[in-house]
Chains A and B, each alone.
Chain A
Amino acid sequence: QQQVKQSPQSLIVQKGGISIINCAYENTAFDYFPWYQQFPGKGPALLIAIRPDVSEKKEGRFTISFNKSAKQFSLHIMDSQPGDSATYFCAAKSGGSNYKLTFGKGTLLTVNP
């Protein structure tokens, strides 16, 4: 049973546009929600993360929106650039574990020039 559902599987956006990737979860014990960015041939790199006590976190062009009641969170990439083309993974950590991250299946983002 997949505990973190990510959509869409792939996304094509024009340069300058807004990219939006969504994730939904069921486990209310999750207490940490990171997003990872992965380029081909590289490991995932932590991009931005949020805890459930805030509804939004912004770092540069990247924003996480968090809806605790709906058990959903999303990544918004403003002014998308070709260099943002990568695979993005959402994840969630249970408050009962120091270690275990549950990942979504990933979204392949392509930003066209």
Chain B
Amino acid sequence: ETGVTQTPRHLVMGMTNKKSLKCEQHLGHNAMYWYKQSAKKPLELMFVYSLEERVENNSVPSRFSPECPNSSHLFLHLHTLQPEDSALYLCASSQEGSGGRQFFGPGTRLTVL
């Protein structure tokens, strides 16, 4: 595998379910990101981890819980989501000092019923 991979690619869940999104980067980067992509809206940065420490949390509701066990893996734990949380969730990675060059995964298409 190369680049940034995300699993699952598609997820349908009820409002009471708990699920997790997984991201893995194979680029040797030391920063990882979660973004939310909704139709007709700019990409929204949710969380940033640098060297496995959270450095950015953009006022994201607590029903989204990130986890970064090491520099290659990033999770987004989901619980009691709302239908408006349905979106494409993108993971990205970068190397600190690269000046902003971020590499994105293919995303997980989440549908909350």
Contacts and interface: CB of A to CB of B under 8 A. Distances in A.
A34 B94 CA distance: 14
Contacts of A46: 101-103
A93 B42 contact: no
Contacts of A104: 42
A45 interface: yes
B71 to A, nearest CB: 14
Residue among B42, B105, B106 with most chain A CB within 10 A: B42
A76 interface: no
Contacts of B40: 105
A103 B31 contact: no
18 contacts: A41-B106, A42-B107, A43-B4, A43-B90, A44-B43, A44-B90, A45-B104, A93-B99, A98-B50, A98-B96, A99-B50, A99-B94, A100-B48, A100-B56, A101-B100, A101-B102, A104-B42, A105-B40
Interface of A: 2, 4, 32, 34, 36, 41-46, 49, 51, 89, 93, 98-106
Of all A-B residue pairs in the complex, the 6 with the closest CB atoms, nearest first, are A43-B104, A93-B100, A103-B42, A103-B43, A32-B100, A99-B48
